[in-house]
């Protein structure tokens, strides 16, 4: 597509439930990143994909967080047994290739855990 598409744009869930957030990157972009922005905080790196593999998972805050990418395109970020501190805007970004530097972000998925 023309831009990075994320869904849902808004998700309200109860503590303890699992959620899935989806990212559809720009067509042809091989690198895909997940960040999150909690209230009053900057952009926190979570995980990055090059193609379908994730060379850098260092930012995932706990083992409740996982992500996958299939077909070198769509990625899903899954949060199991959500906690209130997981409430944040989850941002996905893609980049053309390893020679590029500029990330193009989606509008984000706002997650609220009650």
Partner 1 sequence: DQQVKQNSPSLSVQEGRISILNCDYTNSMFDYFLWYKKYPAEGPTFLISISSIKDKNEDGRFTVFLNKSAKHLSLHIVPSQPGDSAVYFCATHPVRWGSGNTPLVFGKGTRLSVIA
Interface residues toward partner 1, by CB under 8 A: 4, 31, 33, 35, 40-43, 45, 48, 50, 55-56, 59, 91, 93, 95, 98-99, 101-108
CA 109/CA 92 separation, integer angstroms: 9
Compute the Cα dihedral for 56, 62, 65, 66 and give only its sign. positive
Shortest spacing between CB 100 and partner 1, in angstroms: 9
In the numeric block, which tokens belong to residue 36?
């999150």
CA 88/CA 79 separation, integer angstroms: 12
Shortest spacing between CB 105 and partner 1, in angstroms: 3
User: Within 13 Å, how many C-alpha atoms sit on residue 32's CB side?
Assistant: 31
Nearer Cβ to partner 1 (56/85): 56
Nearer Cβ to partner 1 (4/67): 4
Shortest spacing between CB 28 and partner 1, in angstroms: 15
* Cβ-contact 23, 106 below 8 angstroms: yes
Nearer Cβ to partner 1 (71/99): 99
Compute the Cα dihedral for 13, 19, 23, 24 and give only its sign. negative
Shortest spacing between CB 81 and partner 1, in angstroms: 26
Nearer Cβ to partner 1 (14/99): 99
């Amino acid at each position: 597509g023309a831009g990075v598409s994320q869904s849902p744009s808004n998700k309200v869930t109860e503590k303890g439930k699992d959620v899935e957030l989806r990212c559809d990157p720009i067509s042809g972009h091989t690198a895909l990143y997940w960040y999150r922005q909690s209230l009053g905080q900057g952009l926190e790196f979570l995980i990055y994909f090059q193609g379908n593999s994730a060379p850098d998972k260092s930012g995932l805050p706990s083992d409740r967080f996982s992500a996958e990418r299939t077909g070198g395109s769509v990625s899903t970020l899954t949060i199991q047994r959500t906690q209130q501190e997981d409430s944040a805007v989850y941002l996905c970004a893609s980049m053309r290739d390893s020679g590029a530097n500029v990330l193009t972000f989606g509008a984000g998925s706002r997650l609220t855990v009650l």
